[in-house]
Amino acid sequence: MIYPKNSVILAPLSGFTDLPYRRSARRHGCVYAFTEMVDAGSLVYRNFRTMKMLKRGEEEAWLGLQLIAADKDILKKATQIVNEKNFDVIDFNLGCPAPKVVKKGEGAALGEKIDKAVSVFEVLVRTSQIPVTVKIRILDEENPAPTVELASKLCDAGAQAITVHGRVRTKFYAGPVYHDVISAVREAVTCPLIANGSVFDFESFCEIRKNTGCDSVMVARGAMGNPWLFDELLMGLKEEDNGSVLWQPPNAREFADEIFMHISEMVEFYGLELGLTIARKVILDYMRGRGFARVLKTHVIEIASIDDLKQFTECLAEGPTERYMLWLEKHETAVRRLRR
């Protein structure tokens, strides 16, 4: 079995789940994680940025790589390259809804063409020397049959696990997650199924597990700027039998220290200028929804050195606005919390 019961898996997030990002998540309990989504064509042509995405930390006990492709020959060549690397699993992307991906007939666009998708996936299964999994989206919000057909055929083709995101392609990441469709797929397939979609806290984690019957869950946007989500979910799993959840959100000092460590590792990984440029979106993700003054967010673009980063995070360590902290006292179930 690829994942043991009650696994919490960090999704492959394009533009985010590089080595520093995964290290941040792992500091908070994440075991199962993926590289960013890797374009098979870029891998075949040894694109520098793509090759850097394959970097695995010495401390990473488990790491998967996700490939995206629609061309069989390209996918075969890319898989042969991955065979020479050190990964625990190759995941095939049939769920990405990004326009630039869909335009090429890849990701969710390929997933909508069931027989073609399965035919391409079979090339990966035949070529790979390591276990192969696949990530899909539901194909219809009302009728589970098309999604069941896709998942069943992928399972028969050799998928050792399937992750299902409970939204159709055109909804991207908005609107309800159709747990009932994921549940129908789980009941129909013989390989392990992982539920995915809008897991932001322990409550939503429990809800998707209960409604779909899947014991393992993949988290994506919920972990963006919030590596503490793994602490919350994993501690919740340990405590759910006796009904208590002991997890506490970070305080402002812990929050600031994690950001400094994460971005410092990005600078080490990419170099100063590129690392700090890429880091802007990461810092803003950390700050989002946590009550920091808007003017402080505007200073993110001004960070040009490690000293600047240190000064900025020291400002974060002073905490969000008092108004926000008072608001939290009245909204105890709010996600992305900070404690005093």
- Cα distance between residue 267 and residue 6, in whole Å: 34
Out of 96, 155, 191, 214, which one is annotated catalytic? 96
* Residues in the chain, total: 340
- The closest of 148, 12, 33, 17 to 92, measured between CA atoms, is 12
Based on the residue annotation, tell me whether 155 is a catalytic residue of this protein.
no
- Cα distance between residue 293 and residue 309, in whole Å: 17
Contact status, residue 146 vs residue 139, Cβ threshold 8 Å: yes
List active site positions. Answer: 96
